[in-house]
Structure 1
Amino acid sequence: MLDQYERWVHFYTLTLQSIPLHAPPFTLIECIELLRKKTNDGKCFNLIERQTACVRITDLKINDDATLATFLFQYSDSKVSDPAFSDLQSGETREEPKLDGEGIAVSAHAVLRLNPLPGRQVEFLFLLEDAPGVGKTKILPFLNKEIKALLARDFVDPDDNKRKACHPHFDLGHHISQTLREDLEKGELRFIEFVKDFNVAELDEDPYLKRLSNTVKVKVAPKTYGDEAISAINKVKNFFNKNGFDHMKVIYKRPEGKQRSVDLSTFREDVGMLFLERWKPSRLRRNCRNVLTKLMMRLF
């Protein structure tokens, strides 16, 4: 159990891709530079949950050699109960009501490495402080909405020579423990799911619909382990990637009987080299941004 001076740090792999997949690539630095400008202008926020909550970047910095970007994310919710304070001696409680338009706020620091991971052109290491209410499920949709608005543009599709719209898209998957190949030495591959996200023009702005997707489940022969399992995954991954499926989930049974699922991008060249989920507790007696930055630097 962590003490009051510790926080869990999530290790994520951030994947940058173009939507549609065959559109010209975007660069991570152009995405982050525009996010930084909008943050500095005080406009990098998004009202959600029927205008009752807000996700924003309150601070975004890029270091001098443009290798790291540091973020301070904030989530505020007007539906959370007013805070209460208790007198240490008497135990009397005083409630401090929120003003109109205010919400209870929580913040989380993050550090993004702007150079890709070794051998992976579109994947980047992203460290995020674990803070209740301001995790991946809030941050990822927010970032994708922002970069789509900032960088959406047209391109000429070489397949039909027509002008079409495209935009960048982020994905976050957990990173680093041991490789999937090592885990499958004794773990039995059960099945693989592939997901293709898509938009329906009439529903694109519907506030109640977050994502439309098509999912295909591929069953695997019993007792498929190790290199044989990795080879099977890579073969079907390549097929579905060419057919527009950009996400996949590998489900396998570990020796102790527990089933595990691993989410990853179909853009990965060799799934066997995927590093599995890692969390790390870090001491935060000093500035949290500095702690995450030093942790990132020790990994390279």
Structure 2
Amino acid sequence: MSLPQRERTVHFYELHLASRTTAAVTNPSCAPLGPLLSCFSSMILSKGLPHNVRKSTNLHTVLADWRYDAANNCYILLINKANAALSDVALRDLPTTRLRKAGKTKTEGIEVSAHIVLRPNNGNRTASVLLTMGAGVSAADIEFLLNALSRDAAKDPQHKKLFYFDDPSGAVGPDGLSNQYKVSYIFAAHAHKGQTLTAALETGEFESMDLIAHDQGQFDAGGNLQIVERSLSVKAAIPETVTGAAVINAVRSFRKQPDGQMYDKLRVRYKTIAGKSTSATLDLDHLDAAFTLKERIEFDTDVEAQQDSLSPTIVDGLVPLLQSVPT
């Protein structure tokens, strides 16, 4: 498995923190997300890297690197996933035309790396997450890692203040100290749907759009070639003047025409606040609905698909994207 050497696609998520307890407490207290991540960081670095995230017959996921960026108040992670099920690269000898596999054994997996940025947000219960795609690492892997680290931290007495809180009844024990109850934490990542078409074109710049019709029909006489999609491409004479409202109004007006009724999706391409081209596909019936943020970052030098430590090139492209989401 390989990734483009000069670019990465980045998806945005929002990490949610929740607490729970077995005690008779209706609304259990919750430690701020920042101190919890700081706790996990010190724990990970003291044990050493790489750190196993999870392992199965064909997959092995490890945390290969973990750093704190004080200037941007964010944690930057490198998660590697090795997949034994991925097919080995084939090599052909050109003079003899003989074909052979490159040599991966059945117990070896092709490893690819994903870079992740975690930034605690205001309010102490959420964090913005940026994840480079294409390595097979998902938001579920981040959830699994943080939930596992939380369980490990809870077992260590030095982290007690993050997991034990005074009983809201105010009851005290024989020693005169407040009775306490223990909480556990759940981390859940959700796709960041914090941007609408209007907001995207307010901070970025329209490039083009395609109206898409999912139409099925026969393309050739024999019926072997089938039409599955039709599209209508639209560009602007002055792209910087196009607003979300202008697009929404124009699309609604076009769909009232006989030849516009067949279209049901809109793929809009635009430059983000960081000046990078990206796209979003929206339902024409819900053009003002929020959609998942994603970005594409480009590099001046080649970056390999696998790293043992954080790549400064990728990190330098990732961290500025934090400005795209509010704290």
Q: Give TM-score scaled by structure 2 length.
A: 0.52
In the alignment, is the contact (CA less than 8 A) between 1:178 and 1:276 conserved in 2?
yes
| 1:172 corresponding residue in structure 2 | 189
CA 88–71 in structure 1, closer or farther in 2 if over 3 Å, else same: farther
CA distance in 1, matches of 2:320, 2:15: 19
CA 88–106 in structure 1, closer or farther in 2 if over 3 Å, else same: same
* Structure possessing the higher radius of gyration over alpha carbons: 2
The Cα shift of 1:132 comes to 3.9
In the alignment, is the contact (CA less than 8 A) between 1:111 and 1:292 conserved in 2?
yes
In the alignment, is the contact (CA less than 8 A) between 1:82 and 1:98 conserved in 2?
no
| 2:102 corresponding residue in structure 1 | 95
| 2:89 corresponding residue in structure 1 | 84
**Which deviates more from structure 2 when the two are superposed, residues 61-70 or residues 79-88?**
79-88
| 1:288 corresponding residue in structure 2 | 314
**Which deviates more from structure 2 when the two are superposed, residues 4-13 or residues 171-180?**
171-180
CA 283–88 in structure 1, closer or farther in 2 if over 3 Å, else same: farther
CA 85–15 in structure 1, closer or farther in 2 if over 3 Å, else same: same
CA 131–39 in structure 1, closer or farther in 2 if over 3 Å, else same: farther
In the alignment, is the contact (CA less than 8 A) between 1:154 and 1:164 conserved in 2?
yes
| 2:226 corresponding residue in structure 1 | none
1:212-246 Cα deviation digits (max 9, x unpaired): xxxxxxxxxxxxxxxxxxxxxxxxxxxxxxxxxxx
CA distance in 2, matches of 1:121, 1:36: 17
The Cα shift of 1:108 comes to 0.5
Gapped runs of 5+ residues in structure 1? Answer: 181-253, 261-273
CA 98–155 in structure 1, closer or farther in 2 if over 3 Å, else same: farther
Query: 1:256 is matched by which residue type in structure 2?
Result: L
Matches within 5 A, 1:152-171: 153-155=163-165, 157-158=167-168, 164-171=181-188
Query: 1:47 is matched by which residue type in structure 2?
Result: R
The Cα shift of 1:81 comes to 4.4
CA distance in 2, matches of 1:138, 1:255: 29
Query: 1:111 aligned to 2:137?
Result: no
Number of residue pairs the alignment of both structures matches? 209
RMSD of aligned Cα (Å): 3.8
The Cα shift of 1:135 comes to 1.1
1:144-176 Cα deviation digits (max 9, x unpaired): 122222236444543696754312222211223
| 1:187 corresponding residue in structure 2 | none
**Which deviates more from structure 2 when the two are superposed, residues 63-72 or residues 88-97?**
88-97
Query: 1:143 is matched by which residue type in structure 2?
Result: L
CA distance in 2, matches of 1:28, 1:155: 16
In the alignment, is the contact (CA less than 8 A) between 1:7 and 1:282 conserved in 2?
yes
Seq. identity, %: 18
| 1:74 corresponding residue in structure 2 | 80
Gapped runs of 5+ residues in structure 2? Answer: 156-162, 172-178, 199-281, 302-312
Q: 1:141 aligns with which of 127, 131, 144?
A: 144
1:73-123 Cα deviation digits (max 9, x unpaired): 11223x4146224247455333313385x4322210011223x15xx4422
| 1:59 corresponding residue in structure 2 | 65
| 2:284 corresponding residue in structure 1 | 256
Instruction: Report the secondary structure of 1:150's partner residue.
Output: helix
Query: 1:168 is matched by which residue type in structure 2?
Result: Y
Q: 1:47 aligns with which of 46, 49, 54?
A: 54
Instruction: Report the secondary structure of 1:96's partner residue.
Output: coil
In the alignment, is the contact (CA less than 8 A) between 1:82 and 1:95 conserved in 2?
no
